[in-house]
Structure 1
Amino acid sequence: MLHAREKRLTRRLIKLRFTGTLPLWLALAGCAASQKHVASPTSIRPALDADQTQLAGSYNRHADAVRALNASVQMSPTAGSAYSGVIHQYHQVSGFVLAARPALIRVIGQAPVVATNIFDMVSDGQTFRIFIPSKNEFLVGPTQLERATKNPIENLRPQHLLDAFFWTPIRAGDPVVLEQVEAPPARFYALSVLRGSGSNLEIARKIWFDRADLRISRIQIYGPGGRLDSDISYADWQEVPPASPQDSVAPPPVNDRSAATQLIFPRTIRVARPQQDYQLSVAITKLALNTDIPADRFSLMQPAGTELVNLGAGQQEPQP
C-alpha cells in the first residue's frame, strides 16, 4: 500500500511541474513564431492584365480628355525644399490652380486662416512670372530656365505643376517599351516612352500603371542624357462630374478618344523635382474640369513698388 501511495504522489508532482512550465513553453513558442514572418498569399493584391496597346490607349484617353482645370487645393511642401523657402512657417497652404491647354497655368498659395497670398505664379509656356509679397519681389524668366540658383525662391516654376496636370500624349511613332515591375504587395506595368532614333534612343517618360486597377500611379519625366527631371505620383482617383454646357471649353474633335469614357482624376498628387531639390504634395479639395476660363485669369502684372528680378538676364532691376 505504501508503494502505491508513493506512485500516486510522484504522478501528482510530475503533473504539477508540467502544468507550471506550460505557460513558459507557450510564451517561448509565441516568441519564436513572431520572429518568422511568412507572407500570406492574400496580402498580394490580384493583378489585372493588359498589353502595351491597351495601356498606351488608356494613357492617351486621359491625356486627351483633360483640357482645362479649375481646382481648390491644399499644398504641403517638403522641409528644406524650394517651396519651404516661401512657406516654411506653414505646414499646409491653401490655394487655387487654374490651367488650360496648351500651356497656361496660374497657381496661388494663401496663408491659412487669414487667406492672404503667399505667392502668385503664372506661365504661358514661354515665360513664367512669380510674385512673392513677403519678399516684395516679382520674378520673370523663360520657362526653359531650369538651373538651380543660390536663392531657393528662384527655383519655383508654375510649369512644373502643369506637367503633373496635363500629360503629353504618346504619338503613333514613339518607341515604347513595356515591362512588369514587382514591388510586393503591389505590381506594376511600366511603359517607357523613348525619343531619338536608331542607336541614339533615350528615355523621355516612364508611365507606371498599378495592376490592382490599371490606373496610373506615377509618371517620371526625363531630360537629356537620362536625367530625371520630374517624379510625379498620383493617388485617390475619383470620378469627376461633367461640366455644364455653358461652362465647358470648346468640345473635343469628333474622333477624340476621351468622348466615350467616364472622366476620372486623382485627388492626391505629389511632385518631386530632384534637380531643384524640392517636393510638393497637392491635395485637390474641389475640382472642375474642362470649364471655360477667361484669358485674363492667367494675367499677372508686376505690382507697383516691387523689385523686378529678371532671372533670364541673371540680374535684378528695380521697378521703374
Structure 2
Amino acid sequence: MQKRVIQSGLQRYDWLKMPAMLLLLPMLNGCLVHTRTLKQPIIPSVVMTATADQLVKTINDGCDDIHSLTATVDFLATEGGPRKGKERTFTSFSGYIVLRKPESLRVIGLVPVLRTKAFDMATDGTTFKLLIPHYNKAIEGPNTVTKESSNTLENFRPNVFSDSLLIKCISPDDLVTLTSETKTQLDIKSKQMVEKPEYDLTVVRRKENSQELTPERVIHFSRIDLQPFQVDIYDPKGAIQTIATYGPLQTFGATKFPGTITIKRPLEELQIGITFSKLTVNLPLQDNQFDLDIPKGVTVQKLE
C-alpha cells in the first residue's frame, strides 16, 4: 500500500513540474539554442522501383548476353592501406583480357614503353599459371585460395578477375532478399552533395546442416536507372572478400559495357583499376588461347 502512495506522489510531482518547464522554453529558444543552415543535397528527379524478381531478371539477362570477350585495357594497381600504414600506387600499364565462359581466362600485362610482357596469366577454371619473364619466375596453383599467403599478391587469383568482370547469373535455387537505402555523396564534378537511392539485392546461402543463412554476394543497383553499379562478394566467414565497382556504361560496337571496373580486396588492402579502350564480345575462342607454356629453366613456385 505504501508503494502505491509513493508512486502516485511521484506522478503528481512530474505533472505539476511540466507547466514550469514549458514556460522556460521561450527563454531557452532565445538564449541557448543555436540554429545553423545546412546545405540540402540534390534529389534525383526520377527514382525507379522494382521487385526482387525484376532485378534478378536484369542480372540474368545481362549474364546471358555475353559468352566471351576480348579487351584492350589499362591497369592501375594500388597496394596498402590503414592496416599496413602506407600505400603504394604502381605505374599504369596496358594489357589484354581474354575471357570465355564458364571459367577460361587469360590476362596479359605489358611493360610501360617497352611493351614486352610484364606478366602472363592463364586459367582453365581449376588451376592457373602465371609467368613473370623479368624475374624468370612462374607461379602455379589452384584457381581459388586454399591457404592464404602473407604475400597479398599471391592471394589475387584468376577467380577474382572472373567474378568481377562479368556479374554471374542468379540461379533459380538461390535465395535473395531486397532492401533499399539512400546515400548522400559528394559529386566530384559539381562539388555538391547528391542523394543516391539504391537497391541492395543480397544472394544468400544456407549453411550445411544449419538454419543459418550467410551472404554470398550483394548486388547494388542505382534506382535512377535500375542498373548494377557494385557487387560485394563474401567469403565463407561472412567477411567482404571482393568489391567490384562498375563505371558508367560505354558503347563498344553494339555492346554496352562499363568503361571502368575497379576491383578491391579489403582484407589484403589491394586494388586494381581496369579501364577498357577496346572490347569485342562473343567471338569464338579456341582452347589454345588459354594455354600458357612455361619455358625451360624458369623457376616455378607452387601455391596452395
Q: Structure 1 runs of 4+ off > 6 angstroms?
A: none
Counterpart of 1:304?
Answer: 296
Is 2:38 the partner of 1:37? yes
1:56 touches 1:170 (CA, 8 Å); kept in 2? yes
> TM-score, normalized by length of structure 2?
0.77
- Tell me if the contact between 2:144 and 2:159 (Cα under 8 Å) persists in the aligned partners: no
Shift of 1:111: 1.7
2:202 — aligned with what? Answer: 192
1:78 Cα offset (Å): 1.0
Please tell me the residue identity of whatever aligns with 1:274.
P
* Aligned counterpart, 2:265: 273
Say whether the 8 Å CA contact 1:240–1:289 is kept in structure 2: no
Shift of 1:230: 1.0
- Between 1:165-174 and 1:147-156, the stretch displaced more is 147-156
Larger Rg: 1
Matched residue, 1:212: 224
Give me the whole-angstrom Cα distance separating, in 2, the residues matched to 1:158 and 1:49.
35
What residue in structure 2 maps to residue 201 of structure 1?
Answer: 213
In structure 2, relative to structure 1, the CA distance for the partners of 1:168 and 1:153 (3 Å cut) is: closer
Separation of aligned partners in 2, 1:268 and 1:146 = 30
* SS at 1:225 equivalent: coil
Q: How does 1:234-245 map to 2 (within 5 A)?
A: 234-242=246-254
Aligned to 1:144: 144
Unaligned runs of 5+ in 2: 1-34, 82-87, 185-194
The two structures have a TM-score, normalised by structure 1, of 0.73
The match for 1:221 is: 233
**C-alpha displacement at 1:107, in angstroms?**
0.5
Query: d(CA) in 1 for partners of 2:215 and 2:237?
Result: 8
User: Over the residues paired in the alignment, what is the CA RMSD in angstroms?
Assistant: 2.1
**In 2: Cα distance, 1:239 partner to 1:154 partner:** 34
| Distance 1:111-1:289 versus aligned 2 partners, 3 A rule | same
Equivalent residue of 2:80, what SS?
A: coil
Between 1:181-190 and 1:68-77, the stretch displaced more is: 181-190
1:78 aligns with 2:50: no
Higher percent of residues as strand? 2
| Deviations 1:191-223 (CA, angstroms, capped at 9, x unpaired) | 001111672211111000011111110011112
Number of residue-to-residue matches in the alignment: 252
Partner Cα distance (1:39, 1:163) in 2: 38
Amino acid of the structure 2 residue aligned with 1:39: Q
67-76 or 274-283, larger mean C-alpha shift: 274-283
Identity %: 29
The residue number in structure 2 matching 1:100 is 100
The structural deviation recorded for 1:104 is: 0.4
Matches of 2:202 and 2:57 in 1, distance apart?
14
**Separation of aligned partners in 2, 1:187 and 1:136:** 50
Q: Say if 1:148 and 1:275, in contact at 8 Å, map to a contact too.
A: no
One-letter amino acid matched to 1:190: D
Give the superposition deviation at 1:303. 1.5
Deviation at 1:59, TM superposition (A): 0.7
Indicate how the Cα distance of structure 1 residues 199 and 164 shifts in structure 2: closer, same or farther if over 3 A, else same: same
Q: 1:3 matched to which residue of 2?
A: none
> Deviations 1:257-316 (Å, cap 9, x if unpaired)?
xxxxxx52111101011233311010111000111122211111112221011113xxxx
User: Hey, what does 2:114 align to over in structure 1?
Assistant: 114
C-alpha distance 53-240 of structure 1, shift in aligned 2 (>3 A): farther
